[in-house]
Chain A
Amino acid sequence: MKIKFPKDGRFGEFGGKYIPETLVPAIEELEQNYLKYKNDPDFKKELNYYLTEYAGRPTPLYYAKNLTQKIGGAKIYLKREDLLHGGAHKINNTLGQALLAKRMGKTRIIAETGAGQHGVATAMACAALGLKAEVYMGYKDTIRQKLNVFRMNLLGCKVHAVKAGSQTLKDAINEAIRDWITNVEDTYYLLGSAVGPHPYPVMVRDFQAVIGEEIKQQIKAFGKETPDTVIACVGGGSNAIGTFYPLVDSKTEIIGVEAAGQGLKSGMHSATLSAGTKGVLHGMMTYLLQDSEGQIQETHSISAGLDYPGVGPEHSYFKDQKRVKYVSATDKEVIDAFLMLTRTEGIIPALESSHAIAEAIKLAKKRPKTDAIVVTLSGRGDKDVEVVQENVKNSK
């Protein structure tokens, strides 16, 4: 089932490169360079150095004993990507791509960001490697994640607030692509999720696959050959694909959790794989939330990082192949999961990751105590405390 590097950029019918002609040479240059460097010993050595010494890899696989006992079912393990430098898995990818950009001789880096985690991780990697970064962020997201805007500014990165469309992640991507078209000669577009035209979905997956590779090794210490189940949240789907891909050919049950927002029937959600139809957005064929006229719909999620009407093409492929089961969690379930993990384990998870926790809580009850459920805790929740506070207040 694994598709390592599709020559035509397709996972089954998904993926491809639907892009303005101006970007074709840039995409081809990127593909050639990625193929050249991904197995290059010096590149791998340098990336590994930064992942270990700078970002803090490997991250622990933590047995969440208190949470497990409270639920009283399968054992829950947390893959602690929240402990990485910057507070999220995003740094795995930004270090990889920034090192690649440097080798390609690019001096200016642009990126999009939803919750701001990818923006911060880009700003950090660029500061560390001496590159200039500019980040596009939906205006609505700059308000609800203003702490991250401030962090990016501190790191010397310019943040452009995008006021077009729904003012969230999808509009930030549109604007980053427009910038890239305009400055294609010297600019590197550092995409943060496993989305976009080929080769981005493959490249981002490969840089994030370190998550799943480590899980495979670490679970052995708990007496398992592979986890019985892995769970990760899915927006664009980078932490999920990084978790899933190394386990796709194993017997592990794989579950992706999307944002059901105020419920799938409310229309206020971001559950692309659960409720979407096939289409083309941001250079890729994939499942999308769109109306019958092909217009992309506005999405909703309590977590800015999942507030996206598309999804990585490899997830669309795994859905159609029935290899991965995609479910969803509502805003309310997410807040409950956030609070439960915070209080039982003293770990404050990102709202994005809390979607995966919510599913783990539901599932662990139904599974035997001998089962091992691994949840990728993709980020920490410091950025979300205000949003949570509002929600807890309102529900009282």
Chain B
Amino acid sequence: MSRIQNRFTELEKSGQKALVTYVMVGYPSHKDTLSAVRGLIEGGADIIELGFPFSDPLADGPVIQHASTISLEKGTKMAQFLNLVKQIRKESQIPLVLMTYTNILYSKGYQKFFKMAKEAGLDGLITPDMTVEESKEYLKAAKNAQLDTIFLVSPNTSKARLLQIVKQTTGFLYLVAVFGTTGVQNKIQNYTISALKETKKIAKGKVPVGIGFGISTPNDIKSYVKHGADAAIVGSALIKLIEKTPSNKIQKTVASFTRQLKSATK
């Protein structure tokens, strides 16, 4: 069983849902990313998504776009990501997921890179521009390396397609909450709740369902948990917090915010 599956099994036993948190590798600096990750672990995050920057992040809103740009300006390379994963593994067994775009993975070679990432301690992949149609080589390589493939679905995904995507998904399924890019939203939409219920119905007994995009407060998390989400994913809100926090306070501030978010999943 993978670290991600394990975590969901443990949480189920204790009647909790998962808090999935996102940070951008190399933002605002490499040292700060590690501090933020330590804060997430300290605050009780269940799974950590490590965003790797891409020059053309077309599924991301302004906050993560900006973080990508800064990270690339600082010269972030894949080698640093692998080192970060190794470093975190020395300190924790928390499940780690890489979130980046297809071209980054393709340019390294799926087979070769996935093997290296697994050896470093990575557990899964989220690739927002990878559709099931194009995923044959990607899936094969991920399976060989024993990495979970977390696919995304959207409120407008058809039932037939949901079934098809669930089949290729391991770890958890990522439901995109809104029509839009990543970023903070204010109000929970009715169509999101319907989509969550529908997705849960189809994924039941196969994979847990996480929900993300626009989730920024413990209240958001409570609402989605109430409607059946197995995991809540918080990204842009954390990036914004890290952005305005001085380096020496990042770990503490992130831990404190994470604790609040985590309390909503219990």
Contacts and interface: CB of A to CB of B under 8 A. Distances in A.
A269 interface: no
A280 B102 contact: yes
Residue with the greatest number of chain A CB neighbours at <10 A, chosen from B101, B134, B179: B134
A21 B152 contact: yes
A16 B130 CA distance: 11
A178 B58 CA distance: 6
Nearest to A296: B55
Interface string B64-93: 010001001000011000000000000000
Contacts, number: 106
B65 A164 contact: yes
Given A25-B158, A164-B65, A292-B107, A20 B59 contact: yes
Nearest to A184: B179
A283 interface: yes
B154 interface: yes
Contacts of A278: 106
A19 B131 contact: yes
Contacts of A182: 179-181
Given A17-B133, A20-B128, A183-B179, A294 B72 contact: no
A177 B104 contact: no
A17 B134 contact: yes
Contacts of A281: 56, 103
A280 B138 CA distance: 13
A8 interface: yes
Residue with the greatest number of chain B CB neighbours at <10 A, chosen from A21, A165, A170, A285: A21
Interface in B121-146: 128-131, 133-134
Interface in A191-244: none
A267 to B, nearest CB: 16
B103 A294 contact: yes
Contacts of B77: 293
Interface string A129-157: 00000000000000000000000000000
B179 A181 contact: yes
Chain A: interface secondary structure? mixed
Nearest to A175: B58
Interface in B143-195: 151-158, 161, 165, 176, 179-181
Contacts of B257: none
B108 interface: yes
A355 to B, nearest CB: 25
Nearest to B128: A20
A96 to B, nearest CB: 25
Interface string B198-219: 0000000000000000000000
Contacts of B129: 18-20, 280, 283
Interface string B101-121: 111111110000000000000
Nearest to B161: A24
A12 interface: no
Contact of A22 (B134, B151, B176): B176
A252 interface: no
A266 interface: no
A345 interface: no
A295 interface: yes
Nearest 4 pairs between A and B by C-beta? A294-B107, A22-B154, A182-B180, A296-B55
Interface of B: 54-59, 61, 65, 69, 72, 77-78, 101-108, 128-131, 133-134, 151-158, 161, 165, 176, 179-181
Given A18-B131, A25-B158, 12 more contacts: A20-B154, A21-B152, A21-B154, A22-B154, A165-B69, A181-B181, A182-B181, A279-B103, A280-B103, A281-B56, A282-B56, A294-B107
